[in-house]
């Protein structure tokens, strides 16, 4: 294939402080420059069967995860993180996870 004209490559980054928020605290306080590729989804299944999803980053200094507010992450990054989550987890086994991912438009 021949590239006739290069377009802009989309990327996103944000400064995030390692706090351990949402994961028991105990973050080291490091200021991290995270990119769209650093954000991943973690999930918590509640007793009522519902699922809570979180956008999480991992600190390379202290190995602690920190959750980032959904409102601080562009929808494109959220979608990319959910796609990666879906690929890496057998969501077909959990009715509630599958239902929630369908409601978010991630899977059909």
pLDDT of the chain, 108 residues: tens digit per residue = 888 888 877 889 999 999 999 988 899 999 999 999 999 999 887 777 777 889 999 999 999 999 999 999 998 999 999 888 888 876 555 555 666 667 777 666
Q: What are the domain boundaries of the chain? A: 14-103
CA atoms 17, 18, 22, 26: torsion sign: negative
The DSSP code for 9 is P
CA atoms within 13 A on the CB side of 61: 13
83 contacts 89 by C-beta, under 8 angstroms: no
The pLDDT of residue 16: 97
């Amino acid at each position: 294939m021949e590239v006739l004209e290069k377009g802009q490559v989309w990327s996103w980054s944000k400064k995030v402080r390692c706090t351990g928020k949402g994961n028991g605290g105990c973050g080291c306080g490091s200021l991290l420059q995270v990119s769209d590729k650093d954000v991943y989804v973690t999930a918590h299944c509640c007793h009522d069967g519902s699922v809570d999803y979180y956008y999480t980053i991992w600190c390379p200094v202290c190995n602690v995860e920190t959750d980032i507010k959904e409102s601080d992450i562009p929808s494109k990054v959220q979608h990319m993180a959910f796609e990666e989550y879906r690929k890496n987890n057998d969501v077909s086994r959990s009715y509630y996870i599958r239902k929630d991912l369908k409601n978010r438009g991630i899977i059909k």
